[in-house]
Amino acid sequence: MTDDRKPFYARPLVQMGMVAVVAAAATLALLALYSNISMRKSEAKQRSMKLVELGETTVDPAEWGKNFPREYDSYLRTAEGYSTKYGGAGSEGLPLSRLQEDPRLRTIFDGYAFAIDFNRRRGHAYMLEDQRETKRVTERPQPGACLHCHASNTVAYREAGLKQGAPGTLDEPFTSPNGQAQLMAGFEAISKMSYADASRLVKHSVACIDCHDPRNMQVRVTKPGFIRGIDALARSSQPVPHLPSIEKWRKGDRSAAYDPNRDASRQEMRSMVCGQCHVEYYCGPKVTLFFPWHNGLKVEQIEATYDAYTFPDGDRFYDWSHGRTGAEVLKAQHPEFEMWSQGIHARSAVACADCHMPYMREGAIKISDHQVRSPLLDVSRSCQTCHRFPEAEIKARVEIIQDRTKALMDRAEDAVVALIDALQQARKDGMNEVALQPVFALQRKAQWRVDFVNAENSMGFHAPQEAARILAEAIDYARQGQLALRAQPPATGAKPGN
Ligand code: HEC
Ligand code: HEC
Ligand code: HEC
Ligand code: HEC
Ligand code: HEC
């Protein structure tokens, strides 16, 4: 066989040529790759370019935006409205009314400010104006404590604390002992002010400084209610397997308070920053705002904390006297942090930010999306990083959970309304107060549970089985109440059964 008969590519000259071509192509590819990498590197450098000096008094997010334009742009987009089947507040004009959607709530909240105005939540950009404008504020007196979760007040608290005589200066680090003393003194003082006076001290919705350390951009918590609440939780004996740093702190000597800014892992902080506000709380005229976590995060543990609590004036704890029945009842508020803690995602160390602030890529840069909103609007970034199912399948799984929760919640609300009607009738019939007391207790329990799931904003998704358990208990307590009323001898003196 001669060389000529070799296949074309096997001839030495051709081979040499091919090697050269391949080498050249490889070089070009390498060069291209290199220039791409170095471009990306410089892009990546740009992201941390320091254009302005940020400090403990820089409240305006636009200033932070000069150094971090991408995060700032997405943060501004929280002003965009949307709706999903159960999420969002609608895409135009005023937010949708939860009272119009579900008129039973007017009966359940009768006699309380929530019966006059209660809307769907919307984006962070609106938190301050929606609070200033709600009829719950314009038609009822409210304390300055309301602002704890509706404004950037890290600096306002410290300034007020200094006026109260707290030590040090404003530019000391937030976590320094002086910084903390200023924060807590100011929080106490502002919480007691009238809403109108306190509102004049703040200008922005939640801002960069409330979640980030200006020196190094590390995530931090700054809200006094959370700092105290999470310490109370740490001091309880309830297991919190989803927060390993608390379990670890409990094994130590406990001489210093549990401090999330020192003790929590980065992954825990990615939920704790949200737990500063998306939680059940008490905020009324008698005592400073607090998070009721002293016995744990579950619905009955929070109830136990309230049941054991007496106000400084000696009264037992209740949010209001029900307008139709007179029962002293409780109101639940957005317990997302608590409900999430009972679900499989928390247990698997999946944080709020994993779903609600997913990473997004811009060139080589990976940033956290600060347009905090429903994850169902971008399933690929929010869920498919972990779940390898098609988008339609993932959405369908969420919808099944939410539809089931809604159906059970409808039954539970019907049961509570039926109990309220029956109680109202019993009062009309002149049933005596002593006989009514145990039924009031059942109304309080049933109503608290329905409201816990209804006020939680994921329609069961954050912990599906827990939501179902709570609703089943609500139905049971409400029906027990009705049975107890039937068992009472009628006030007219007629015998039962007549
Ligand atoms: C595994 C993903 C996941 C995690 C983790 C998670 N959420 Fe959610 N969240 C969802 C989904 C899905 C919904 C339902 C959205 C809808 O109905 O459009 C939701 C709904 C919400 C809503 C209502 C959103 C709306 O559009 O109205 C809020 C508020 C919320 N979550 C806060 C939190 C907080 C706070 C945490 C952490 C304590 C958290 N979530 C953890 C997936 C998650
Ligand atoms: C300073 C308190 C505060 C913090 C911190 C906070 N939120 Fe909110 N969040 C609110 C308030 C208040 C609203 C409702 C605003 C309104 O309706 O005007 C809200 C609304 C939302 C909504 C509804 C958005 C929409 O457009 O309907 C989601 C989702 C949400 N928050 C998730 C989170 C997550 C996740 C975190 C943590 C990364 C977080 N929030 C941190 C107070 C807070
Ligand atoms: C512990 C944090 C916290 C405190 C304190 C707080 N809020 Fe909110 N508020 C939130 C969060 C989170 C949302 C968004 C979730 C939701 O709407 O359920 C919200 C939503 C709202 C909304 C919009 C939805 C609605 O309910 O109509 C109004 C209005 C509001 N709050 C008023 C108030 C008033 C008035 C007070 C004082 C009595 C108060 N808030 C105290 C965290 C808080
Ligand atoms: C409600 C809390 C919250 C607010 C408000 C907030 N951030 Fe963040 N930010 C986070 C979380 C959570 C992360 C993810 C941190 C992590 O994974 O360690 C983050 C990450 C970042 C990072 C690190 C890079 C990245 O994108 O992951 C930068 C830079 C940043 N934020 C800038 C800002 C700026 C600028 C603002 C104000 C315009 C702001 N943030 C407001 C919670 C917040
Ligand atoms: C960081 C990873 C991660 C992300 C992001 C994530 N999940 Fe999950 N998800 C898990 C893990 C882990 C489990 C537990 C089951 C398992 O181990 O596969 C789980 C379980 C579930 C389940 C079963 C729930 C149950 O109670 O049994 C559903 C439904 C689900 N995820 C939906 C979602 C949706 C929708 C999103 C986006 C909004 C999402 N997940 C985002 C990790 C994740």
The model's pLDDT over 227-246, given as tens digits with 9 standing for 90+, comes to: 999 999 999 999 999 999 99
CA atoms of 130 and 147, how far apart (whole Å): 11
User: How many whole angstroms separate alpha carbon 231 and alpha carbon 236?
Assistant: 9
Global pTM value: 0.93
Domains 61-84+96-356 and 386-487 are alike in CATH topology: no
Residue 183: HSE in the Cβ half-sphere, 13 Å Cα cutoff: 24
Q: pLDDT under 70 in the chain at which residues?
A: 1-48, 490-498
Could you tell me if the CB of 118 is within 6 A of ligand 3?
Answer: yes
Return the pLDDT at 19. Answer: 53
| Cβ–ligand 3 contact at 153 (below 6 Å) | no
Reduced to 3 states (helix: H, G, I; strand: E, B; else coil), residue 17 is helix
Residue in the structure block whose two tokens are 């094994």: 251
> Are 82 and 377 contacting, i.e. CB atoms less than 8 angstroms apart?
yes
Confidence at residue 488, expressed as pLDDT on a 0 to 100 scale: 78
The pLDDT score that the predictor gives to residue 285 is 78
Q: What angle do CA 245, 334, 442 make, to 5 degrees?
A: 105
DSSP 207: -
Q: Based on the number of CB atoms within 10 Å of its own CB, is 274 exposed (0-12), middle (13-18) or buried (19 or more)? A: buried
The pLDDT assigned to 364 comes to: 86
Pairwise CA distance, residues 89 & 414, whole Å: 24
Q: Which CATH architecture describes the domain 61-84+96-356?
A: Orthogonal Bundle (1.10)
Pick the CATH number of 386-487 from 3.30.1860.10, 3.60.21.10, 1.20.140.10, 1.10.10.10: 1.20.140.10
Per-residue pLDDT, 262:
97
Cα(51) to centroid(ligand 1), Å: 34
Q: Which residues line ligand 1 (CB under 6 A)?
A: 84, 86-88, 121, 271, 274-275, 278, 336-337, 340, 345, 350, 352, 354-356, 373-376, 398, 457-459, 461-462
Residue nearest to atom 38 of ligand 3 (CA): 146
In order of 72, 150, 152, 370, the CA distances from 206 in angstroms are 13, 7, 5, 12
DSSP letter at 109 equals: T
Q: Rounded distance, CA 19 to CA 14, Å? A: 9
Domain extents in the chain = 61-84+96-356, 386-487
In the three-class reduction of DSSP (H, G, I as helix; E, B as strand; rest coil), residue 290 is classed as strand
Look at residues 103, 69, 130, 149 and name the one whose alpha carbon lies nearest to residue 362: 69
E strands in 117-248: none
Mutate to test the pocket of ligand 1, among 374, 379, 380, 395 (most ligand atoms within 8 A of CB): 374
* For ligand 1, atom 27: residue with the closest CA: 87
Pick from 280, 268, 277: nearest CA to 350: 268
- Model confidence pLDDT, tens digit, residues 356-379: 999 999 888 999 999 999 999 999
- CA-to-CA distance for 439 and 423, rounded, in angstroms? 8
Query: How much is the pLDDT for 3?
Result: 43
